[in-house]
Amino acid sequence: MNIIIQSTLKTLQKSKNLLDKLEDNALCDASLPPYYSSIGTHIRHILDFYDCIFNLDSDRVIDLTNRSRSKDVESKCDSAVNYLNTIIEKLSKTDFDMDETVKVIDDLGLGKTEIKYTLGAIFTQANSHTIHHYAIINYILEGLKISFNDLDFGYNPTTPKLSSTLN
């Protein structure tokens, strides 16, 4: 299995660990300022990104603006776990050519644009995107006073550890 997919699976396992710990009311709690987003909206957003990749069409186009945005995934842990398991299964059982060129449609703030990527690049972006959203989820967990014992959750692997900066 490709290292990009291995890394992605390792990152997504953190979603599984988190969802196993949460109740539905915590998943959909959007009470914290300033953005009033929930853990569930971030998990759904992460998984939708991967789902867009798997919806690669016959013209080899991935449309990141065409997301499913399921409210059940945002509010029900069972639905989120099922969606996550579907993504993990597709990642695990598909042999991707990471050098294959694809077209990615995204909206960078000025309307939809089309960008050339490789599958390796879009999966790498998806993994980094996931870690970024884990950092936001970490703030929400803190605000909701939910303990999640994963010291690497929300940290990019290249982020220096506090102990290494003290030496």
Q: For the segment 4-13, what is each residue's pLDDT rounded down to a tens digit? A: 999 999 999 9
Domain housing 97:
3-166
Instruction: At 93, list the tokens.
Output: 């059982």
Q: For the segment 71-129, what is each residue's pLDDT rounded down to a tens digit? A: 999 999 999 999 999 999 999 998 999 999 999 999 999 999 999 999 999 999 999 99
CATH number, domain of 92, equals 1.20.120.450
Q: Residue 1's pLDDT band (boundaries 50, 70, 90)?
A: confident
b/e for 17-47, b at 16 or more Cβ within 10 A?
ebbeebeeebbbbeeeeeeebbbbbbbbbbb
Q: What percent of the chain has pLDDT over 70?
A: 96
- The domain tally of the chain equals 1
| 3 state DSSP class of 57 | coil
Contact status, residue 65 vs residue 106, Cβ threshold 8 Å: yes
Q: For the segment 36-45, what is each residue's pLDDT rounded down to a tens digit? A: 999 999 999 9
CB count, 10 Å around CB of 123?
Answer: 21
Contact status, residue 68 vs residue 43, Cβ threshold 8 Å: no
Strands (E) located in 75-161: 101-107, 112-118
- Phi and psi angles of residue 61, each rounded to the nearest 5 degrees, phi first: -115, 135
